[in-house]
């Protein structure tokens, strides 16, 4: 019996790490809808030793891994904001109220600053969502 046959008989060993690790990344296919993007399958080893696979898109493997990290951070923030709606309301009040308080109220520019900051928040949120999900086929 050689080493390969012996290795195949053993159960996969769980490794415990102090942080998450990308254990394997493989290119599956090129995106048909977004030129220059590829679909990768990333195998992730969690802190507790469990292993799971996650599909992710990117221009190259480094881009795909950074997109995966950004997406996980976005999901974590979304989950936090879903349970804490007061924080969203406070951010909205600051976005609308702060420019109105800091600008001269005798000028009509304070209305532009007030509504402009709310529109800017919406634009940044839309851009972030598009950036994180770019390359994914619907």
Q: What is the pLDDT of residues 96-115, one digit of tens each?
A: 777 777 777 777 777 787 78
Residue 80 is given by DSSP the state H
Residue 94 and residue 79 in contact, taking contact as beta carbons nearer than 8 Å:
no
Q: 0.75 cut: is pTM over it?
A: no
The two three-digit tokens of residue 123, written as one number: 């634009």
Sheet bearing 51-58, strands edge to edge: 21-30, 38-45, 51-58
Q: What are the phi and psi torsion angles at 108 (to 5°)?
A: -75, -5
Q: How far apart are CA 107 and CA 42, in angstroms?
A: 55
Q: How far apart are CA 129 and CA 36, in angstroms?
A: 19
H or E element, residue 31 = none
How confident is the model over 14-65, as pLDDT tens digits? 666 678 888 888 999 998 888 889 999 999 888 888 888 999 989 998 999 9
- Give the bridge partners for 38, in sequence order: 30, 58
């Amino acid at each position: 019996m050689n080493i390969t046959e012996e290795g195949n008989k053993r159960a996969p060993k769980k490794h415990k790490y102090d942080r998450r690790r990308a254990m394997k990344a493989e290119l599956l296919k090129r995106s048909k809808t977004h030129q220059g993007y590829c679909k990768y399958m990333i195998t992730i080893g969690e802190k507790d030793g469990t292993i799971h696979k996650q599909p992710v898109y990117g221009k190259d493997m480094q881009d795909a891994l950074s997109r995966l990290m950004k997406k996980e951070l976005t999901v974590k923030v979304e989950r936090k904001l879903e349970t804490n709606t007061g924080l969203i309301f406070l951010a909205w009040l600051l976005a609308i109220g702060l420019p109105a308080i800091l600008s001269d109220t005798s000028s009509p520019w304070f209305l532009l600053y007030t509504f402009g900051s709310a529109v800017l928040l919406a634009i940044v949120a839309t851009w972030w969502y598009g950036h994180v999900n770019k390359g994914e086929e619907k």
